[in-house]
Amino acid sequence: MARLVVRKGELIVRLSWWEKLAARHGDIHVPLGAVEQVAADPSWWRVLRGTQGRGTWIPDVLCIGVRDVSGTKDFVALRPRSGPVICVDLHAAAAPFARVAVTDPVPDATAATIRTAAARFLRGSQGAD
């Protein structure tokens, strides 16, 4: 199952080997400075925007890959039957995607970890100026 990991100033979507095949994409790396908002959502379908792009789309089983959204792109790794979702909205100019959404077994804890890391990163980068 895909995991959101914070490491060395980046938010990483770590994909298993089969998820990389299904998504036709490798792990996603996003600078923490691009994180705009993080939310846990119990309903996987609410985070889906736009139209299906490159990836694998099996209704009610698996949604993984890139979605086309009005001139931007989202990356999703959702397993609808596996629980809630973490949705991370990003600054489009600073990241390869406008949104990243991943199914997560402990969404509130993961969201809090990402928020804390992004806030620390922002405070650290402002102190460097």
Over residues 89-109, the pLDDT tens digits come to 999 788 899 999 999 999 999
Band (pLDDT 50/70/90 cuts) for residue 129 is very low
**Cβ atoms within 10 Å of 127's Cβ, excluding its own:** 7
Residue 84 has pLDDT above 50, yes or no: yes
Model pTM score: 0.91
Closest C-alpha to 25, from 41, 12, 36, 37: 12
Residue 58 has pLDDT above 60, yes or no: yes
Q: What angle do CA 75, 94, 4 make, to 5 degrees?
A: 40
Radius of gyration of the chain (CA): 14
**Torsion angle defined by CA atoms of residues 81, 82, 84 and 85, in that order, rounded to the nearest 10 degrees:** -100
**Cβ atoms within 10 Å of 60's Cβ, excluding its own:** 10
